[in-house]
Chain A
Amino acid sequence: MRKILVVDDEHDICDFVRNFFQERGYSVLTALTGEDAIEIAKKEKPELILLDIKMKGMDGIAALKHIKEANRLQKVIMITALEDQGKMDEASRLGACDYITKPLMLDYLEHAVEKNLKVSL
């Protein structure tokens, strides 16, 4: 089973996205903070991480930096509001493989995860 990690400081989003991908046959881990995300990424080695940029405390960019330092090949898709274009550029410099802007289309969310996992085959 393909393992992914969902990182968002909103409970509702973590729950919904977990449920969404579990129903599509994924094993889904969730983290509500950047710190937890770094830990879980190290321990569980998910194939892909969905990482929200705007979070309380450590934000997605800082978390991305740590995750990438620990594992340069870790695939990370950033999730962001449209207004964060500057942060998006930073994220892609830091090695994020894709990004999705909120509010998002669910079929695109599914497609983005599938597409980025396929590349690794």
Chain B
Amino acid sequence: MTANKKAPSWDKLHDWFVEKLAAHDNGVQSQGQGAEGMSHPDFTEPPPPKADYQIFLENASRTMIRFKKPEHLIKMIVKTIDEQLKVTHTAVLLYREEKRSYILIDSKGSEGLKIPIGFVRLPVDNPLISIFSEKQTYLISETGILRYEDLINALRNRDILEKQPDLYDKLLLLKRQMDLVKASLCVPCYFKRDLLGILILGEKVSGDAFTREEMGFFVTLANDAAMAIANAQLIENLHQKVEEIKGLYLREHRIFIHTAIALAAAIDARDQYTHGHTERVTNYCLALAKELEGLPEIANYKNFRETLQIAALLHDIGKIGIPDHILNKHSRLTPEEYEEIKKHSTIGATILNPIKELSDVAREVRHHQECYDGSGYPDGLKGSGIPLIARIIAVADAFDAMTTNRSYRKGKSAEEAVQELKRCSGTQFDSVIVSAFLLAYEKGNILTNGKQQYLFNGNNEAKDEF
């Protein structure tokens, strides 16, 4: 097969690598299928010479830094060291905040030497950890690696024994820890100044010492692993923050909507003849607005649906400023009383204006009694000069006023009210809005029995926005 002779391309190497990793994760061996060359014939040959696997690993690990799960990179490092360097065993311990310990998360090695995954931990005050985290410089070579060989030499050094008994004792404790895990080399994984983990290596099966080149290589791998872990933690923290903020926003938003609902309920409670008016008008507005989707004017609002909902809830809030004897009068209003009632839209806007977040809503409340032909109040605005939401509320408001009973008259049927809207379409009301209302009505979405679709029903009004 000529493919075997070809120099492997990095792309293929990487693919092969990821595949191996996946197989490793699933506990499946990607080899032994009896179909040589089935996937990547380049690698059915014996392992490439050392320089090749080093370049290969370095490249692969650079790529893997971008992987979401640093565990994959760590498994790959452990596996490759085990396969290519022929050491008795390899293990990686990572810091786990909740246990204040370094936990063994991956390992390889021959029977009895492989330290079982998840079986062992080293607490932060363990000498094998503190020698790195406290940055004690004795014994640690310029590469940052701790070698068992150096430790033994230091313990044989009479100077240390005689002049620095404290250090000697410390070294003895360190030796005991290295003996427990049979470590020949310990390579720290630092990110900035934090010790994120350590890589533990047993002896080479051949009994040879590790070369300088190999140790330099371990340091590179350890740094890459640290970078990958730090990145993953950063991303994890970021996700948590986003969720937190989202939660806070949702909560605030919910409180906000519920405050508006409470205010609306307060207005309704006071006006005994229009009981449930606000709720029905809001429902009509939202049902009607569904039929307006795609209307270019909607884009003028930062959050159209929410502004509409709040404006509809609060459109009559100005009635708070109207005396009871007028608001709850049993007979027809005199012209003077009617003038008084008309003030409710400006009073409402005045109430809402100081709330910066509701300035949009205040404008809609002010104009919800304007007529399309300019005959309304308070400003006599005309056509598209009237804000869109105010035009919507005007239709919904009128429909509810017509279909509910007053002390001085019986309410119209829905069908009669619809005919009245049609008649006034283009004069009192915007014909586009009336058409949308008719559409919603025909679809059965205008429910005069006041079915509580959008109000007082828990959390859906806030959730809808997300």
Contacts and interface: CB of A to CB of B under 8 A. Distances in A.
B117 interface: yes
Contact of B101 (A103, A107, A110): A103
A103 B120 CA distance: 5
Nearest to B111: A15
Interface in B100-115: 101, 103-104, 111-115
B121 interface: yes
A16 B116 contact: yes
Interface string A78-113: 000000000000000000000000111111001000
Contact of A102 (B111, B118, B122, B180): B118
B181 interface: yes
Contacts of A104: 119-121
Between A19, A103, A105, A110, the greatest number of chain B beta carbons within 10 A of the residue's beta carbon is seen for: A103
Contact of B114 (A16, A103, A110): A16
Nearest to B101: A103
B180 A16 contact: no
A11 B112 CA distance: 9
A10 interface: yes
Contacts, number: 45
A17 to B, nearest CB: 8
A13 interface: yes
Nearest to B115: A16
Contacts of B180: 106-107, 110
A38 B103 CA distance: 32
Contacts of B103: 103
Nearest to A110: B180
A10 B116 contact: yes
Contact of B116 (A12, A105, A110): A12
Interface residues of B, number: 22
Contact of B176 (A19, A102, A107): A107
A75 interface: no
B27 to A, nearest CB: 13
A26 B15 CA distance: 47
Interface string B174-185: 001100110000
A103 B100 CA distance: 12
Interface string B115-158: 11111111100100000000000000000000000000000000
A13 B116 CA distance: 6
A104 B112 CA distance: 17
Between A12, A18, A19, A110, the greatest number of chain B beta carbons within 10 A of the residue's beta carbon is seen for: A12
Between B115, B119, B120, the greatest number of chain A beta carbons within 10 A of the residue's beta carbon is seen for: B119
B125 to A, nearest CB: 11
A13 B119 contact: yes
Nearest to B118: A103
A104 B176 CA distance: 16
Contact of A105 (B112, B118, B126): B126
Interface string A1-34: 0000000001011011011000000000000000
Contact of B122 (A12, A15, A105): A105
A13 B118 CA distance: 10
Given A105-B122, A106-B120, A106-B181, A15 B101 contact: no
Contacts of A110: 180
B119 A102 contact: yes
A55 to B, nearest CB: 14
A10 B116 CA distance: 9
Nearest to A106: B180
Contacts of A102: 118-119
A107 B119 contact: no
Contacts of B119: 12-13, 16, 102-104
B114 A105 contact: no
B113 A105 contact: no
Interface of B: 99, 101, 103-104, 111-123, 126, 176-177, 180-181
Interface of A: 10, 12-13, 15-16, 18-19, 102-107, 110
Given A15-B112, A103-B99, A106-B181, 12 more contacts: A12-B116, A13-B116, A15-B111, A16-B112, A102-B119, A103-B118, A103-B120, A104-B120, A104-B121, A105-B121, A107-B176, A107-B180
**What 4 A-B pairs have minimum CB-CB distances, sorted nearest first?**
A19-B112, A103-B121, A12-B116, A106-B180
